[in-house]
């Protein structure tokens, strides 16, 4: 009799609690659906955030390349300037050096003319002395005049040949030395300008390489960050889907 009463009480208790248990089940189902909806919304937000991160990454890459382009353009402009300045200075120095050489040639010609004039005066004086002695008819004076004339003619030949050649050569050597003194710094400026220009070109190339590496790094960073955002949201969504599926069974 006692067993029957216990069985009847248990059945009654189950029947009495059935609505409450159903209410709890419905409440859990609603909660799981809410979690699923929230996870789905978070996933959509994650997609948008990841897209924004990717977009920022692209902008960063473009900025790196644009900054590098502007820097290299400035460096290449500097390269043209220093190269042009060096060439311009060398051209001026070359012109002045050629002028110094031309002056040396003129001095050499002047040396020849001066010595030729001196020799001409000496020869004319010797010839006049001989003519005067012959006019007087004195043998001793004629002999002395001829001896002096021969000496002066030989001396005139030496002046217009050996001495003239030496003086002309010295004038050209001096002019060439002056030209080297003038042209040397110009050549140094040209060489320095070319070296600086080469350095600017090399530096510009390095800036471009660094910018390319920075752009690649920015792209990798943005891709990694956006993928992490999506992966996290995807995991949350899969978890919510699994819980909702388990709660619906």
pLDDT tens track for 62-85:
888 888 888 888 877 877 787 888
φ and ψ at 137, to 5 degrees?
75, 15
- DSSP state letters, 109-130: HHHHHHHHHHHHHHHHHHHHHH
Instruction: Tell me the C-alpha distance between 40 and 233, whole Å.
Output: 8
Q: What digits encode the pLDDT tens for the residues 115-173?
A: 999 999 989 998 998 899 888 887 888 889 889 989 989 998 998 888 889 999 999 99
Kindly report whether the global pTM for this prediction surpasses the value 0.85.
no
Ranges of each domain in the chain: 40-244
Predicted confidence band at 3 (pLDDT cuts at 50, 70, 90)? very low
DSSP designation for 144: H
Contact 126, 149 (CB under 8 A): yes
Confidence grade of residue 194 (pLDDT, cut at 50, 70, 90): confident
Share of the chain above pLDDT 70, in %: 87
pLDDT (0 to 100) of residue 247: 65
Structure tokens at 148: 């002096």
Integer angstrom CA distances of residue 136 from 124, 233, 246:
18, 138, 156
Given a cut of 70, whether residue 17 has pLDDT beyond it is: no
Please return the burial class of 193, using the count of CB atoms within 10 Å of its CB with bins 0-12, 13-18 and 19+: buried
One of 1.10.357, 3.40.47, 1.10.287, 1.20.1530 is the CATH number of 40-244, namely 1.10.287
């Amino acid at each position: 009799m006692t067993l029957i009463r216990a069985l009847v009480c248990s059945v009654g208790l189950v029947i009495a609690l059935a609505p409450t248990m159903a209410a709890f089940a419905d409440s859990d189902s609603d909660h799981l659906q809410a979690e699923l909806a929230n996870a789905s919304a978070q996933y959509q937000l994650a997609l948008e955030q990841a897209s924004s991160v990717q977009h920022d990454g692209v902008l960063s890459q473009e900025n790196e390349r644009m900054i590098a382009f502007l820097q290299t353009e400035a460096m290449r402009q500097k390269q043209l300037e220093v190269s042009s300045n060096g060439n311009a200075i060398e051209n001026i120095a070359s012109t002045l050096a050629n002028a110094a050489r031309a002056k040396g040639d003129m001095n050499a010609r002047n040396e020849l003319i001066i010595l030729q004039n001196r020799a001409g005066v000496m020869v004319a004086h010797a010839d006049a002395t001989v003519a005067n002695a012959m006019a007087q008819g004195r043998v001793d004076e004629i002999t002395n005049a001829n001896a002096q004339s021969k000496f002066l003619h030989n001396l005139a030949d030496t002046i217009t040949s050996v001495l003239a050649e030496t003086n002309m050569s010295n004038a050209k050597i001096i002019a060439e030395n002056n030209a080297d003194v003038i042209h040397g710094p110009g050549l140094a400026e040209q060489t320095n300008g070319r070296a600086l220009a080469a350095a600017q070109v090399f530096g510009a190339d390095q800036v471009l390489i660094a910018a390319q590496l920075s752009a690649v790094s920015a792209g990798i960073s943005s891709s990694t960050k956006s993928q992490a955002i999506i992966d996290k949201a995807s995991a949350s969504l899969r978890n919510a889907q699994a819980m909702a599926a388990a709660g619906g069974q």
